[in-house]
Amino acid sequence: MTISAEKMKEMLWTMVLSRRFEDELMDLCKIQGKIPGMMILATGQEAVGSGACAALEPEDVIITNHRSHNHLLAKGANPNVLMAEIFCKRTGCNKGKSGTLHMAVPEINAPCTSTVVGAGPPIAVGRAFAQQYKGEKRVTVCFFGDGAAAEGSVHEAMNLAGLWRLPVIFICENNVYAGAQRLEEHAPVLNLADRAAGYAMPGVIVDGNDAPAVYQAVVEAKQRALSGDGPTFIECKTYRCRGHGEADPQHYQPKDEISAWQEKCPVPRLRDTLQAQGVITAADFQDMENRAAAMVREAVRFAEDSPYPSPEEALEDVFAE
């Protein structure tokens, strides 16, 4: 499959934007202490969200987890409202009720970010069921981690999706760690995609630091789903270069392992490929970085200038009126 230059550039752009956005978050949280709560970043894993979302239409749905910023930006979320939500301001996408961990952006068909590990897949099954029920030619993509793959909920969801041939794409972002536990310490198999066989769906393994490879796998999964052949399980092999959260000193992660994976960083990798192919020039890339920096600066300014919600507004939004 050849991937258009436009798609390639789109993937590179959302990766560059995500990286800048999260580097800024790291600084805001760790160095400036401006952001409350936990700060969970996907630095080095951007090829997964950016590759997958490039294969989706705006009407396709994503369900994501605690490590969501790249998924949401790649799906098209407005950086201003995400940043404001992360600052817990009233102008955030959820009026400050979610904060960084549970941002819901239904307007871009990213209706649920759950920090309850393993909660995404059953909800994705429901969303895909609705797509099938309504006869929409749409798919639902669910992002979850290697750790989440140990939750019973994930297995129930995969079983049901397999049984009902639902148009759902399970994207397991295998970043080697679940908290402080390495894959070998929390899973009896090294390829989580092996589990797909038990639910009658293809289990595909891709290099999770290769955005075009992820894109291609999702395009194929989408074709299967839309032709009625049901779900696909895609395991993206990648690596968590930063701590579980920014408070994690990574004492259990071998330093040379981290640096080896930093060498495989998906952003320069796609940049170099595209430059070698003549799809972009060095100046084009610099331009992307400048644009991302400007957007993130603007997002931070927007967030900082925005007010906090009033305390009493906490009482709103519990029930639909």
Partner 1 sequence: MQKLGMGQAVNQALREEMHRDPNVFIAGEGVGVSIHLNPMFPTHGLLEEFGPSRIKDTPVSEAAIAGLAVGAAEAGLRPVVEIMFNPFFTLASDMIVNHAAKLRYLSGGKSAFPLVVRMKSGAGIGAGCQHSHNLEAWVAHCPGLKVVMPATAADAKGLLKSAIRDDNPVIFIEHMGLYFAPMPVPEEEYLTPMGQAEIKRPGTDVTVVTWSGMLGVAMAAAEKLAQEGVQVEIVDLRTLVPLDKETILASVAKTGRLVVLHEATRTGGFGGEIAAVVMEEGFRHLKAPLRRVTGPDIPVPASPPQERFYIPNDEQLIMAIKEII
Ligand X SMILES: Cc1ncc(C[n+]2csc(CCOP(=O)(O)OP(=O)(O)O)c2C)c(N)n1
Contacts with ligand X by CB under 6 A lie at 66-67, 115-118, 144-148, 175, 177-179, 240, 244
For residue 116, state whether it binds partner 1 (rule: CB under 8 A): yes
Q: Which of 11, 117, 157, 206 binds partner 1 (CB under 8 A)?
A: 117
Contact (Cβ atoms closer than 8 angstroms) between residue 31 and residue 37? no
Determine the interface stretch with partner 1 among 124-132, 147-155, 259-267, 296-304 (rule: CB under 8 A).
Answer: 147-155
Contact (Cβ atoms closer than 8 angstroms) between residue 113 and residue 103? yes
DSSP state of 194: G
Minimum Å gap between C-beta 179 and ligand X is 4
Q: Which tokens is 268 given?
A: 């320069």
Which residue stretches of the chain are H helix?
5-26, 46-54, 69-75, 79-86, 120-133, 152-163, 183-186, 211-226, 255-263, 266-276, 282-305
Cα–Cα distance, 43 to 19 (Å, whole number): 6
Please state at what angle helix 282-305 crosses helix 79-86, rounded to 10 degrees: 50
Determine the interface stretch with partner 1 among 5-13, 144-152, 202-210, 275-283 (rule: CB under 8 A).
Answer: 144-152
For residue 110, state whether it binds partner 1 (rule: CB under 8 A): no
Residue nearest to ligand X (CB): 145
Mapping DSSP to helix (H, G, I), strand (E, B) and coil, where does residue 305 land? helix
Cα–Cα distance, 273 to 294 (Å, whole number): 25
Q: Which of 23, 34, 38, 165 binds partner 1 (CB under 8 A)?
A: 38
Minimum Å gap between C-beta 313 and ligand X is 26
Minimum Å gap between C-beta 42 and ligand X is 7
Minimum Å gap between C-beta 97 and ligand X is 18
Determine the interface stretch with partner 1 among 71-79, 195-203, 227-235, 307-315 (rule: CB under 8 A).
Answer: 307-315
User: Binding partner of residue 150 among partner 1, ligand X, none, CB under 5 to 8 Å per kind?
Assistant: partner 1
